[in-house]
Amino acid sequence: MSQLITNIPRRQSIPILYTRGTHYDVGYDVGRTFASTIKNFLQLSGPLNDTYLPLYHTDEGRNIYNATLESVKQSFPQYVRELEGTADGAQVEFHKLFLLHLDEIMPVATEGQNSINQPIGCSTICVNEPGCEILAHTEDALSEVLNHYYFVSAHIISDSPQGKYNVTEERFTSLCYAGHLPGYTMNYNHHGLIFSINTISARTLISGKTPRHFITRALLSAENFIQAQQILRDNGVGAADGCSVNMTFLKQEGDRLFHNAEMGPAIAGDQSQLNIFTASPGEWIIHANKYLRLPVPEVTGLIIDSSVERMKTFGSFQAPRSVQDVIKMLGDTSAQEHKVFRENGPKDVIKTVCVGIFDCVRRTWTLYSDNPKFNAPLVVLPLVLKD
């Protein structure tokens, strides 16, 4: 008899896995280590069970699934093997994990509308001041993600060049949602790339293109800003959907620069739409879940309403110049409806599951599992770079 799985209140706990091997080995270790967490999440996931799986069992939905999977296998076979390893290690069906990475591509492509009308999304603030060079981020997600995430610190070594960018070695630490590839939340790699993601919901999504989860997974291999742009453009295929990427490179020459890249789906060609804003010293970046510069038509509804209200809240503060300024902003709960830090109670559809602050001067990654205005960090990790 199967047991009904329910989520539990917020835990002050974030597990971490250190793993080394091939892409499949690393995926398998993730699946084996976090099998119970992944299985629980698959049972709790409303979008997966209510929308993605029913569409997967239709002819049109299966065609979209197959076309996108084949496209990803052509560009990034190593990441498909990594996800197959996770499925094997956790003893769950691969198609369920791949559906999570398709996200809203299938419902939008089949039914013409986003199936999740919720105020989903994250907030990111980059500060570029003397002595204060930080990238800070709230990880906001559907409430079932609460307690269903973990760190993966991986060193992947390949015998031969892998994928369209011929990568032979990757080393990174990423905060991962259960059953998801690294790369779509907060991350850094051993080349000194730090980045966070804001989900953006374009109105038109394309099957047979590269899902954003695989593009951001590939971003973990980037050695410099030129490579990062190349990965986001995804020449020859292009993105199936969109997101915003906030990033900096610790090893860059000259002044500290932070970049916000808005990526849009490749609707009219074979590369992603891309717009990049750069914050030089004395400047800052604030981004939520709405296109600010790239002219991409978006869905309507709560994700836009939430972004507008959070950006309005940020606008009520003076320009951030310190870590404490940023903590006050990301921990703010003053908005009437769409608060920045989201934790109203057990009935919340969207919750801020954690908050991260990358300090480029001290080279640390501080993670809070609760509101940073009122709680000490759960962990402070060093940023370990390649010699």
Q: What confidence tens digit (pLDDT) does each residue in 347-358 have?
A: 567 788 899 999
Lowest-confidence pick of 47-51, 95-99, 218-222: 47-51
What is the average per-residue pLDDT within 326-351? Answer: 85
Assigned token pair, 359: 């300090």
Neighbours of 236 (CB within 10 A): 12
Mean pLDDT of 295-299: 93
Residue 149 reports pLDDT greater than 90: no
3-state secondary structure of 367: strand
**pLDDT tens digit sequence for 235-269:** 999 999 999 999 999 988 899 999 999 999 999 89
In Å, how far are 67, 124, 193 from 150, measured between CA atoms?
30, 20, 20
Bridge-based pairing of strands 149-162 and 167-177 is: antiparallel
Burial 158-180 (b: 16+ CB within 10 A, else e): beeebbbeebeebbbbbbbbbbb
- The residues near 267 (Cβ < 8 Å, ≥ 6 apart) are 204, 206, 273
Give CA–CA dist 256/60, Å, rounded: 48
Q: What are phi and psi of 16, to 5 degrees?
A: -135, 140
Residue 4 has pLDDT above 70, yes or no: no
Question: Chain-centre distance of CA 113, in angstroms?
Answer: 22
59-69 average pLDDT score? 96
3-class secondary-structure state, position 229? helix
3-state secondary structure of 54: helix
Does the pLDDT at position 333 exceed 70?
yes
What is the pLDDT, as a whole number, of residue 277?
A: 98
Predicted confidence at residue 2, as pLDDT, reads 44
Single-letter residue type at 175: L
